[in-house]
Every structure is written in C-alpha cells, then in structure tokens.
Amino acid sequence: MKKILFYTDTPNIGGAEKQMLLLTKYLNKKSYSVSLAYGGMYSKINQMHDEFEKWCEKVYPLPTIHKHDPRHYTHLKKILKSDNFDLIHLHLWNPGSCRYAFFAAHHSNVPIVTTEHDPFELTGLKRLIKQNCLQKTAQTITISQDNFRLLGEYYGVPKNRLALVHNGIEIDNFLDNINKANLPVQNGDTIITCIAELHPRKGHKYLLEAFKKLQAQVPNLKLILVGSGPIEDELKEQYTSPSIHFLGWRKDIPQILKASDIFVLPSLKEAFGLVLVEAMASGILTIGTDNGGVRDIIQHGKTGLLVPPANSNKLAKTILTALQNPDQKSDIEKAAISHVQENFTAERMALDTINVYNTIK
C-alpha cells in the first residue's frame, strides 16, 4: 500500500479543494493511504476537516498563520520525517503556491507530484522560484490539454514529466432521479441556468445581454443565476427583470440542473469548468465558451455547444437555435451523458492519478 501525503497552502475552498477531497475518497477506495496537511490557522479547508478525516489516514492542520508563513517548511519536514510517505502530492491553486513544500520534500528525499489547477505565467523572481520548484518535481499533473501546453510554453516542462488527468464527478449524484428544486419558476417556463462566482472573468454580462435579446423571441423564458461574488450588486442593479433570478450560493445544485433546459457558462477564461461536466451529466444541453479547459469537456455539436467568449450576439443565436431544434438538442444531451461516463468520473480521475504515481520509482 502506498502512503501519500496531500498538501496545499490555499486559504480558500473552491473547485480545486473539492477535487482534492473527491480524489482522497476514491484513492482510499483503491486501498491507498492518504493523509492531508494544510494551513490550519487560516485556510477555509478547516470547514472540510471532518469530511477529509472520513477518508484520510491522518489530517495535519499546520499552525501557520498565512500562506507565506515559513513554518510550512519546518512542520512539513517533521511530518515527512515521522511518517514514511512514498510521495507527496502538492495541489497548486496558483502557480506560485506550495513553494515551501517543494523544498521540504526535496530536503526529505520524498518524491513530489503536483497538480497544477490553474497555471499562468509568472515573471521575475517568482518565475525563477517556480522553475526551481519544477526541477524538484517528478511528475506534474495538468487538468486540461490547454494547461499541459501552457506549462511547457511558460516554464519549459518536458512532456515526459507532464500528465493529463481530468477532474471528475460522482456521476450518480446527477443521473439519479432527484427531488424537485425550489425555484421561482412556473410550469411551462423555459429555464436557462448559470452556476458560477459573480466575477468579471465568468462573463455573466454577456449571458445577461444575450438573455435580453432572447426574451422577445422565446415566451416564458427565465434566467437562473446561482452564485455570489464581487459584481453581484452591480449586476442586480444593471439587469432588473422579473424573469432574471439571482439565487446566491445553493447546495441543491443537482436539483437545479435537473430543472433546467439549458446550462450556460460564459467564462472569459476557464482552467477547466467542472460545472459543465455536472450539467452534461444532468442531461441538459450545455453551452460553454471556446477557451481553456472547456475544449476538453465539450465536443462542439456532439456533446454540447461552444461559442466565442465575450460575444452576446453569438450566444443568443446559439441558445435560440438549440431551443428551436428539440430533436438535435435531445441527441446532444444523450451523447453528453455517455461522454461524462467515459471520461469525467471520480473513478477515472483516481485511476489516472494512480497511473501517474506508478511511474515514480
């Protein structure tokens, strides 16, 4: 049995952190012993502590006060020395994260695997530190083909030290018959849904502009926006309509997706876009923007539809065409479920990760 130490210095809970938990669960099911270390005095992962404890051999909340605290290094060295780990798996929430862990693991002679959840280019001293850290890494996992390309382009990581492992979901949560969602809609309404942080990079304004264009052409059309964020008040003030509903964050995502007719993620940039996978697994037509990891998920015209980013006219036309062609919409929805079952399950993610671990001697 291999002993794996997961580590992250993230202060937040987002898609990357939830994928860590899911991977922990499914590695445990494959008889891998996984432990977790994280910044215990500042990270919101504290809110997930009990969930990690269900699947981890040990959980180490480090007594560090922020991601720059050098005690990350000293505490990790002690953990790596006290427990005989076969490798450490670092989850990088941005390309400059986890730097103390690279050096702690290197000085402890423990092989390093990293997952780059959202790589982008660093400059100056940060770039030099990043390149030094990458030299200490046995294998780097990327979650999309675009990220695979960027790590080679930005930092010169050779292809034989890169691996592509897509994020996954527990698909049964979205396939099963689900209780009805409590939504501000009526029977007969056509529902367009977007689930994303209300942040400029998510491109909500282009979806809202497209929706305004569609209202005159599609009767009983409703827009459901799930999420909150820094531009929430701005969007609410600018786009006022009884047909647009801002729901904030919700826990009943599978139910909301099941109640929807079309899902749209209008991001300007997307490292992966796991919510697209969830929507496809729910059996609704899914529209994403043609960038980043979205291209790995949606095969245009087969398992979903792609539109250019920041183009409300094209988005409106794509939605209208889909609604006017229900047979084609249904075919795409069925193909999307099969596509998720084959490529984006938590089981597949765990097996692909194990294959990476097995390359390390």
Which CA distances in Å does 123 have to 5, 101, 126, 127, 271?
Answer: 29, 21, 6, 5, 20
**Lowest mean pLDDT, pick from 168-177, 235-244, 347-356:** 168-177
Strand arrangement of the beta sheet that strand 244-248 belongs to: 244-248, 221-226, 190-195, 262-265, 285-289, 305-307
Alpha carbon distance 263, 253 (integer Å): 12
Give me the pLDDT at residue 1, please: 83
Whether the predicted pLDDT of 176 surpasses 80: no
CATH 3.40.50.2000 fits 3-168+345-357, yes or no: yes
Angle between helices 312-324 and 204-215 (to 10 degrees): 50
User: What are the pLDDT digits (tens) for 288-343?
Assistant: 999 999 999 999 999 999 999 999 999 999 999 999 999 999 999 999 999 999 99
The domain limits of the chain are 3-168+345-357, 172-343
Whether the predicted pLDDT of 178 surpasses 80: no
- Phi, psi (degrees; rounded to nearest 5) at 253: -60, -45
Helical ranges in the chain per DSSP H: 15-29, 49-55, 71-82, 99-107, 124-135, 145-155, 172-175, 204-215, 232-238, 253-258, 274-281, 294-297, 312-324, 326-343, 346-357
User: What are the pLDDT digits (tens) for 215-255?
Assistant: 999 999 999 999 999 999 999 999 999 999 999 999 999 99
Give the pairing of strands 262-265 and 244-248.
unpaired
Which of 266, 219, 215, 260 is CA-nearest to residue 241?
215
CATH topology of domain 172-343: Rossmann fold (3.40.50)
Whether the predicted pLDDT of 39 surpasses 70: yes
User: What are the pLDDT digits (tens) for 136-169?
Assistant: 999 999 999 999 999 999 999 999 999 999 999 9
- Assess whether the region 3-168+345-357 and the region 172-343 belong to the same CATH fold: yes
